[in-house]
Structure 1
Amino acid sequence: MTMWVFGYGSLLWNPGFDVARREVAVLADYHRSFCMRSIHHRGTEAEPGLVLALDAAPGARCAGLALAVAEGQEDRTLDYLRERELISSAYLEKMLPVRFQDGGTAEAVTYVIDPDHVQYCGGLALEEQAQIIARAVGGRGPNTEYLFNTASHLAEIGLSDPDLDWLARRVRALAV
């Protein structure tokens, strides 16, 4: 049975594991949001950045990629993802149903935000998000790189996100 992982942020452009197949997919009842303060990868404890998370919202839909893990790599991939995504316990690992463009469905390993975690910061205004992203830098590099890569990869696969597109334009203007 194929193991699927739902990618909506950096997994789109940096999965870090062997991907056998990519399918555009939609996850119901969550939306992509810069609602997690990043104190490791794209910021520090002193100056947190922001990273995307899936924030629960009944009726919402998040378009992304379902990534099929290469056969025989399931355990290694899950270990890798847990080390990467669960570094501060702000994400919760869930098996959630995704719907492919062709109408098929699958259960996918999905990382969603824990709204009770100290790093959760849902509801920030887009301008505040832009100001934070423009200046934060963490262990994996500038927060701007994370935003720009995610926005451009979404656009490449025909899944532009209006909020991310606005943020990318605004953060570029702030950098001038």
Structure 2
Amino acid sequence: MCEDMFVYLFGYGSLMWRPGFPYSRKFNAYIKGWKRVFYQGSTDHRGTVENPGRVVTLIKQPEDDKSNEVWITWGSVYSISDDAAMPILKNLDYREKGGYERHELDVFLEEGEDVEPYGKAIVYLATTENLEFLGEDTSENIANQIFRSIGPSGRNIDYLLKLANSLHDMGVTDKHVFEIERLVLGLMSQHKINHHNETIENITDSLLSSSPDKSLELLNQHKRFYSKPLGQLWIDDGAVQAISQRAKSLLPVGIVKMVGEFPKDSLVTLLDINSSQISRGITNYSSDEINTIIGKQSKDYFNTLSGFTKEAVIDHNNLILL
């Protein structure tokens, strides 16, 4: 499948809804002999070292499996131009640094016993030997851990629900993911957390952790991210990759369009050039101020225009990923 001018990447987790890189084509495909499971710990995105979140990885079907059923995992394949592949993969290596490694696996487009693979694609997976691997647990325990976990990139429940919605939109079945989704939605209903407006006020300290840790601090910081955004900023591919892959701040040079009127210290949504939501953040400047520096290099405004005391429109620690 890797033609002369393209590299192919298979996404089965957050890459399904937030690839964060330019691509020429996206299509649904699956891999055989592997299962998507919430066995990988997340201390850098959806949890903390003291209170890890759970994200998905792949486990290989045992050779002595007696079930007579081949494991299948559906996901998204991205076609990337060969010229762009090296920097994109370098950024993805950083994004997936929490225990994930590159592998190459066969991908398939049609189901059936004798179907030939479409070709090979790069896949990031976390092996059982990595330091953040949490392993198997009951569905109830996994759901509770996801429900109470929050990290620098946002709530663990947002990751779960985005993944489940991506699979629902594809029209495929994933028993493990959908069971965790069902249990977490039950917890959200029980604690009156509405995932449509994404309110977070009803998550109490006791739900996050039995002992104080950084999660409580993050919760207080993140409450504002789940109110109603007052504006929207469209950002270019370079800014998307910097924010979603390398946890960088948003600079004016990466902004291509703005909608809304708001004061500084306001919540806004960041979108890519295809109008897909990438992130939310708290601005350092008002909409009027941002409008005067859109697309500018820092040398053209930072410490030269009155009132512009920060280089970034949104600092990286005031951004969460969607």
Q: TM-score, normalised by structure 2?
A: 0.52
The correspondence for 2:102, drawn from 93, 102, 106, is 93
Contact preservation (8 Å) 2:106, 2:117: no
Counterpart of 1:18 in structure 2 is 22
The correspondence for 1:60, drawn from 60, 71, 78, is 71
What is the total number of aligned residue pairs between the two structures?
A: 174
In the alignment, the residues of structure 1 paired with residue 152 and residue 81 of structure 2 have an alpha-carbon distance, to the nearest angstrom, of 28
2:87 paired with 1:76: yes
Of 126-135 and 103-112, more deviation after overlay is shown by 103-112
Counterpart of 1:148 in structure 2 is 161
Contact preservation (8 Å) 1:151, 1:160: no
Counterpart of 2:170 in structure 1 is 157
Contact preservation (8 Å) 2:31, 2:73: yes
User: Rg bigger for which structure?
Assistant: 2
Q: Between Structure 1 and Structure 2, which shows a larger proportion of strand residues?
A: 1
2:9 paired with 1:5: yes
Question: How big is the shift at 1:121?
Answer: 2.1
Question: How big is the shift at 1:54?
Answer: 1.0
Counterpart of 2:211 in structure 1 is none
Question: How big is the shift at 1:36?
Answer: 0.4
Structure 1: state its 5+ residue gaps: none
In the alignment, the residues of structure 2 paired with residue 159 and residue 12 of structure 1 have an alpha-carbon distance, to the nearest angstrom, of 13
Counterpart of 1:174 in structure 2 is 187
Task: For residues 31-68 of structure 1, give each alpha carbon's deviation from its aligned partner in whole angstroms, at most 9, with x where no partner exists.
Answer: 10001011110000010000000111244221111111
| SS of the residue 2:21 aligns to | coil
CA RMSD across the alignment: 1.6
In the alignment, the residues of structure 2 paired with residue 133 and residue 4 of structure 1 have an alpha-carbon distance, to the nearest angstrom, of 30
Which one has more relative contact order, counting CA pairs under 8 Å at least 6 apart?
Answer: 1
Of 35-44 and 20-29, more deviation after overlay is shown by 20-29
Of 55-64 and 132-141, more deviation after overlay is shown by 55-64
| SS of the residue 1:171 aligns to | helix
Alignment of 1:10-49 (within 5 A): 10-49=14-53
